[in-house]
Amino acid sequence: MKKSIYIGLFLLLSYSSFSQADTSKVEQYCQIIATPRLLSNKVTIDIDFGEEKSFWSDTRLKTYDGRLKKFNTIIDALNFMGKEGWLFINAYPVRDNQTEIYHFAFRKLFLKSEVKALK
């Protein structure tokens, strides 16, 4: 009886050990939007990952310990994205009345399983 249980466990474990993970990758994109603050030299940084925004949910970027992530300058935000593995693609300004709003586009490769978990 013990022998058949051991054989069954061995077959079950060996079957699961041969399963392969999906290693195909997919590109994901994001955008940093830098808006100048009124009567200040500082800017407001928004990062758009393409997620759905809702009035009821807080989608602001947070640090690993749960605090709100704040950036000192545009360069601080660009350095942060580089440390997170995002690759810079393009930057362009958009003029809105008398202010210029700067947009920075990034891309990053993710495993398909990571993208499904992020959504």
What's the domain count of the chain?
1
Please write down the HEC assignment for all residues of 33-101.
Answer: EEEECCCCCCEEEEEECCCCCCCCCCCCCECCCCCECCCCCHHHHHHHHHHCCCEEEEEEEEEECCEEE
Domain-embedded: residue 12:
no
The pLDDT tens digits of the residues spanning 12-47 come to 565 555 556 667 888 999 999 998 888 888 888 888
Domain-embedded: residue 67:
yes
The pLDDT tens digits of the residues spanning 66-114 come to 888 888 889 999 999 999 999 999 999 999 888 889 999 999 998 888 7
Domain-embedded: residue 17:
no
Domain-embedded: residue 66:
yes
User: Which residue segment(s) compose the domain that 31 sits in?
Assistant: 22-118
Domain-embedded: residue 68:
yes
- Collect all residues with Cβ–Cβ distance below 8 Å to 44 and sequence separation of at least 6: 34, 35, 36, 37
pLDDT score of 49 more than 90: no
